Amino acid sequence: MSKFWSKRAHQLDPYTPGEQPQDQQYIKLNTNENPYPPSPKAIEAMRLASDELMRLYPDPTARDLKQAIADFYTLDYEQVFVGNSSDEVLAHTFVALLKQDKPLFSPDISYGFYPAYCSLFNIENTKIPLADDFTICVEDYCKDGGKDKGGIIFPNPNAPSGIALSLNDIEIILKANPEVVVVIDEAYIDFGADTAVPLIAKYPNLLITQTFSKSRSLAGLRVGFAMGHPDLIEGLERVKNSFNSYPLDRVAIAGATASIKDTKHLDNTCQKIIKTRERVSLALEKMDFTVLPSKTNFVFAKPNQADAKKLYLDLKEQGLLVRYFSAPRIAGFLRITIGTNEEMDEFLLKIEKMI
Ligand SMILES: *Cc1c(COP(=O)(O)O)cnc(C)c1O
């Protein structure tokens, strides 16, 4: 608290990221980072980009990166927007594409940055409860043509549930809400769910965001992007150019461009993680955890014979971090990022001893 803070700063409800302890070495299974390295081609491109040209401003349009993303998804250049992390892309989306005088609809259990941005941009947030099995209730988003809302946002697959919605259900939501933008946050899409990109051609109200932080192992680089109708992209560009004309530095543009071109590396990494995820899910079920069906690089699991918070604290004491949320409906769960096979073996061993 300070008398120098603005009224808005006083009222904020900032997002709390997972712990990034700098004091000791932990096995980090708490922030959904990728345990495998990024594409060697991306690392090489970043090395090459760190040269004397750094004295110049980078390309404000990040043309090479946008074109590479457009090529990857067979879209037009005008259908792609890039930013300094998908969180930043989402922030611009809140300013550019929501009707701020009406509530934003999102699931009650979802990504914590949506309510944080609602408080930053002074937007009401209507939280729609997930069903008892933690799936999204499609019909709750489909009443009265979208006149009651300023927009819709949810991750697909959802976080922290890990559960994916079918393209069929997404299409039902898009059709029922032609007056507002529906934002699908596909941060985890490469781990087994279907991207909604093919729906962009049919639905001008669809905006998809993605990130290089999870499946492409580049959380440290901070690159995200959005895809949608050119009118939506132009709205985002207007906001971006009113905020920071050069959000991506030369190194980030070079690294992300090389990364998205290396499709083989992406496939290999994701396949390894999916395989480990399925193995860990089974092992946890054998130890009497309820494990939600995940299409992400984490599992959301509830120990039926133990206290989740105590497990989290005990694991931390033993140098292993997972994520615990105290929110009412999910206080009995742990969110466990899928690490390497060795890390997960160690995790399972520790859990077995505690249960
Ligand atoms: C990790 C995550 C993001 C943020 O990605 P960055 O590009 O690293 O900002 C966005 N949405 C969801 C649901 C996430 O889990």
Nearest CA to ligand 1 atom 14: 187
pLDDT of residue 16: 82
298 with 247, same domain: the answer is no
32 with 59, same domain: the answer is no
24 with 74, same domain: the answer is no
247 with 276, same domain: the answer is no
Q: Which atom of ligand 1 is nearest to 110's Cα? A: 13
190 with 329, same domain: the answer is no
304 with 181, same domain: the answer is no
What's 180's domain CATH number? 3.40.640.10
Q: Under DSSP, is residue 285 helix (H, G, I), strand (E, B) or coil? A: helix
Q: Which residues of the chain have pLDDT under 70?
A: 145-146
Q: Is the CB of 351 under 6 A from ligand 1?
A: no
The last residue of a domain, from among 262, 293, 316: 262
The last residue of a domain, from among 218, 234, 262: 262
> What is each CA distance from 74 to 67, 69, 102, in whole angstroms?
10, 8, 34
What is the number of other CB atoms lying within 10 angstroms of the CB of residue 41? 16
Nearest CA to ligand 1 atom 15: 187
In a domain, 80, yes or no: yes
In a domain, 2, yes or no: no
91 with 237, same domain: the answer is yes
What's 284's domain CATH number? 3.90.1150.10
Q: Tokens at residue 153, please?
A: 């946002």
Tell me how far apart the alpha carbons of residues 113 and 295 are, in angstroms, rounded to a whole number: 21
Nearest CA to ligand 1 atom 1: 187
221 with 243, same domain: the answer is yes
The last residue of a domain, from among 231, 262, 293: 262
Query: Rounded to the nearest whole angstrom, what is the distance from the C-alpha of residue 298 to the centroid of ligand 1?
Result: 13
Determine the structural domain holding residue 339 and report its residue range: 7-37+264-354
Q: Is the CB of 93 under 6 A from ligand 1?
A: no
113 with 14, same domain: the answer is no
> What is each CA distance from 102 to 97, 119, 152, 171, in whole angstroms?
12, 14, 11, 22
126 conformational bin, left if phi > 0, alpha if psi -120 to 50, beta if neither = beta
Q: Which atom of ligand 1 is nearest to 213's Cα? A: 8
Burial class of residue 101 (count of CB atoms within 10 Å of its CB; 0-12, 13-18, 19+): exposed
Q: Is the CB of 219 under 6 A from ligand 1?
A: yes
String of DSSP letters for 79-118:
GEEEESSHHHHHHHHHHHHS-TTSPEEEESSS-THHHHHH
Q: Is the CB of 88 under 6 A from ligand 1?
A: no
134 with 202, same domain: the answer is yes
Q: Which atom of ligand 1 is nearest to 212's Cα? A: 7
pLDDT of residue 223: 98
Q: Which atom of ligand 1 is nearest to 90's Cα? A: 10
63 with 76, same domain: the answer is yes
Q: Is the CB of 224 under 6 A from ligand 1?
A: yes
Nearest C-alpha neighbor of 284 from the set 187, 223, 351: 351
Q: Number of folded domains in the chain? A: 2
Q: Is the CB of 85 under 6 A from ligand 1?
A: yes
Query: Rounded to the nearest whole angstrom, what is the distance from the C-alpha of residue 86 to the centroid of ligand 1?
Result: 6
In a domain, 1, yes or no: no
294 with 308, same domain: the answer is yes
Which one of 114, 158, 209, 214 would you pick to mutate in the ligand 1 pocket, going by the greatest count of ligand atoms within 8 A of its CB? 214
Q: Are 199 and 175 in contact (CB under 8 A)?
A: no
| Prediction pTM value | 0.97
In a domain, 91, yes or no: yes
In a domain, 24, yes or no: yes
